[in-house]
Amino acid sequence: MNNQKNLKIKAARTLAGLTQADLAKAVGVSRQTIIAVESGKYNPTINLCIDICKALNKTLDQLFWE
């Protein structure tokens, strides 16, 4: 993931009806971590990427690759 905003995660999260806090709780991180991932200020580990994908019912390709 490059250092741009990850609008794919935000869109998927919103469509799933989850807040940043909901997603954070589902994947075991702080809300601030989700904010940082969505804003492109934090490059998540592959394990966190996988957890986010599972929580949002998406694939790695759908959320993290162009």
Domains, the chain, in order of start with CATH, read 7-64 (1.10.260.40)
pLDDT higher than threshold 90 for residue 25: yes
Q: What CA–CA distance (Å, rounded) separates 49 from 6?
A: 12
Quick check: helix, strand or coil at residue 23? helix
pLDDT higher than threshold 50 for residue 49: yes
In this prediction, residue 44 carries a pLDDT of: 94
Whole-prediction pTM value?
0.89
pLDDT higher than threshold 60 for residue 26: yes
